[in-house]
Amino acid sequence: MSETAGPSVLEVEGLRSGYHGVTVLKGLDFCVGPEIFAVLGANGAGKTTLLATLARLIPLMAGTIRFQGEDVSALPPYDTAGRGVGYVPQEKGVFPDLTVLENLSVGGMIGRRSRDERMAEVLALFPDLRALQAQPAGTLSGGESRMVACGRALMQDPRVLLLDEPTAGLSPLYVDMFFDKIREIHETRGVAIVLAEQNATKALQVADRVMVLSLGQAYAVVDAAELTTQQLKEGYRI
């Protein structure tokens, strides 16, 4: 297993989780440092289950999750978010009846810095949202909704950001923009990022390390530059 480039932000040992008694993740061991850590895999590999488990939305069946050295395995989602774990789900990442500004303000309820300061940073990162602040989030396009969901998570001042397929269903233009923003968020804010993606080519362009999930197990955990096409094909069962 490849090592992190710095102190671990997240450490996962023997992680088992799933839904309604069905085990989806089957004993995962990995750690995430101050880096972009991509989780790749085919549909049904367990990527969404993993991120929802790390965000504490799904209980563990076994194993431990440590965040900045502290065991958070049994904490509720709000406590985990308050400690610095930001989560952007693949779908339904916004409150549709609230305006864009109200959605972002919900994220600002967590965090110690001035909410105005954080809002200014988010609007600088996603300038398209400036003109949409008074618009109900339910009327936004897919790409705009994803920006709001990501912005709301960043309003929490996270130490690690969990992104579940942020470019799924988006136009190529939005896909390119989002991957640029992911790199920018990491480099300018020093936020560790766990990126679950099906778009392996794009993810590998921004990732430092990668874990290939196959049927709930880690097929490979390597530096992104060292992942071979053969490993990718075997991990995806192509």
CATH assignment at residue 112: 3.40.50.300
Asked if residues 3 and 160 have their Cβ atoms less than 8 Å apart, the reply is no
pLDDT reported for residue 32: 98
C-beta of residue 12 within 8 angstroms of C-beta of residue 65:
yes
- Domain-embedded: residue 5: no
- The rounded distance, in Å, linking the Cα atoms of 203 and 194 is 11
Q: How far is CA 97 from the centre of its chain?
A: 24
At residue 178 the predicted structure's pLDDT band, cuts being 50, 70 and 90, is very high
Please state, in angstroms and as integers, the Cα–Cα distance from residue 104 to each residue in 101, 128, 139, 170, 228, following that order.
5, 14, 16, 21, 40
Assign 155 a pLDDT band (cuts: 50, 70, 90). Answer: very high
In the predicted structure, residue 238 carries a pLDDT above the cut 80: no
Rounded average pLDDT over 20-46: 96
Amino acid, res. 215:
L
Is position 181 within any domain? yes
CB 81 within 8 A of CB 156: yes
Say if residue 1's pLDDT is above 70: no
Q: For 219-233, what is each residue's pLDDT tens digit? A: 999 999 999 999 999
Say which residue, 6 or 30, is predicted with more confidence.
30
Structural domain includes residue 4:
no
Q: Is 224 within 8 Å of 208 (Cβ atoms)?
A: yes
Q: What pLDDT score was predicted for residue 62?
A: 97
Question: Residue 183 falls within a domain, yes or no?
Answer: yes
Spatial separation of the C-alpha atoms in residues 62 and 18, rounded to whole Å: 10
Average pLDDT (194-199) is 94
Question: Computed from CA positions of residues 11, 151, 112, 101, in that sequence, does the dihedral angle turn out positive or negative?
Answer: negative
Share of the chain above pLDDT 70, in %: 97
Share of the chain residues as helix, strand and coil, in percent rounded to the nearest 5: 40, 30, 35
* Helix or strand (DSSP H, E) at 122: helix 115-125
Per-residue pLDDT tens over the stretch 39-55: 999 999 999 999 999 99
Q: What is the pLDDT of residue 5?
A: 61
For the segment 92-143, what is each residue's pLDDT rounded down to a tens digit? 789 999 999 999 999 999 988 999 999 999 999 999 999 999 999 999 999 9
Tokens (6 digits) for 128 = 């398209």
Q: Is residue 3 part of a domain?
A: no
pLDDT tens string 66-86: 999 999 999 999 999 999 999
Establish how many alpha carbons lie within 13 A of residue 193's alpha carbon, considering only the half-sphere containing its beta carbon.
29
Mean model confidence pLDDT for the chain: 95
| 1 in any annotated domain | no
Is residue 81 included in any domain, yes or no?
Answer: yes
Domain coverage including residue 73: 10-235
Overall average pLDDT of the 155-165 stretch: 97
Query: How many domains are there within the chain?
Result: 1
